[in-house]
């Protein structure tokens, strides 16, 4: 139990990178609350998380990953710098979210992709989805094929 008290004292961004999944889960929960509280989309606070958002969606623990997906969605929805993370996050969603059995994770992954499209990053999303179609894992190809109607880009 001594480990718990140590990681609980860490800042949010360090919890999100911790080796213990419970620490990461706690970090994602705190990040989600923080992302929902920050009123200024140009706050410098967003910059702390630029390099971490991909880790939120690709967490190796399924429970932590779900909370990470929620936090990532809140980040993308609210931060003016979110567009900088498009390629790496969508790639992570295609590789680690669309191929798992949890329906809620797939739904959040789809919502993340759609939010990137909404913030005018449709080309990057489309490119990453097309790369995903080349994946040798049939589950990913099926998921992308089922979801592709959601990602049709019209001019």
* Residue pLDDT, tens place only, 16-48: 999 999 999 999 999 999 999 999 999 999 999
pLDDT of residue 100: 84
Categorize the per-residue pLDDT at 145 as very low, low, confident or very high, splitting at 50, 70 and 90: low
Please, what sign has the CA dihedral across residues 53, 44, 73, 6? positive
Highest mean pLDDT among 29-38, 114-123, 130-139: 29-38
Q: Are 57 and 109 in contact (CB under 8 A)?
A: yes
Global model pTM greater than 0.75: yes
State yes or no: pLDDT of 1 exceeds 50: no
User: Cα–Cα distance between 65 and 9 in angstroms, integer?
Assistant: 22
Which are the contacts of 136, defined by CB distance < 8 A and separation ≥ 6? none
Task: Say which CATH number the domain at 119 has.
Answer: 1.25.10.10
Lookup result for tokens 């939120």 = 56
Candidates 139, 61, 147; CA nearest to 101 is 139
pLDDT of residue 155: 43
Which whole number is the average pLDDT over 64-77? Answer: 97
What is the share, in percent, of the chain residues with pLDDT greater than 90? Answer: 72
Domain residues for the domain of 62 are 2-151
| Mean pLDDT, the chain, whole residue set | 87
DSSP secondary structure code for residue 41 in this structure = T
User: Cα–Cα distance between 112 and 135 in angstroms, integer?
Assistant: 20
Q: Are 140 and 100 in contact (CB under 8 A)?
A: no
State yes or no: pLDDT of 83 exceeds 50: yes
| Structural domain total, the chain | 1
User: Cα–Cα distance between 122 and 125 in angstroms, integer?
Assistant: 5
Categorize the per-residue pLDDT at 118 as very low, low, confident or very high, splitting at 50, 70 and 90: very high
User: Cα–Cα distance between 61 and 153 in angstroms, integer?
Assistant: 33
């Amino acid at each position: 139990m001594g480990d718990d008290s140590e990681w609980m004292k860490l800042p949010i961004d360090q919890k999100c990178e911790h080796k213990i999944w419970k620490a990461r889960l706690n970090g994602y929960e705190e990040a989600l609350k923080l992302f929902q509280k920050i009123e200024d989309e140009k706050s410098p606070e967003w910059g702390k998380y630029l390099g971490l958002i991909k880790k939120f969606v690709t967490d190796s623990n399924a429970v932590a990953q779900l909370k990470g997906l929620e936090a990532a969605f809140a980040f993308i929805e609210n931060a003016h710098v979110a567009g900088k993370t498009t390629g790496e996050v969508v790639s992570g969603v295609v590789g680690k979210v669309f191929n798992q059995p949890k329906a809620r994770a797939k739904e959040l992954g789809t919502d993340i992709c759609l939010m990137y499209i909404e913030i005018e990053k449709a080309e990057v999303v489309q490119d990453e989805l097309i790369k995903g179609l080349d994946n040798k894992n049939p589950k990913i190809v099926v998921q992308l094929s089922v979801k592709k109607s959601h990602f049709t880009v019209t001019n």
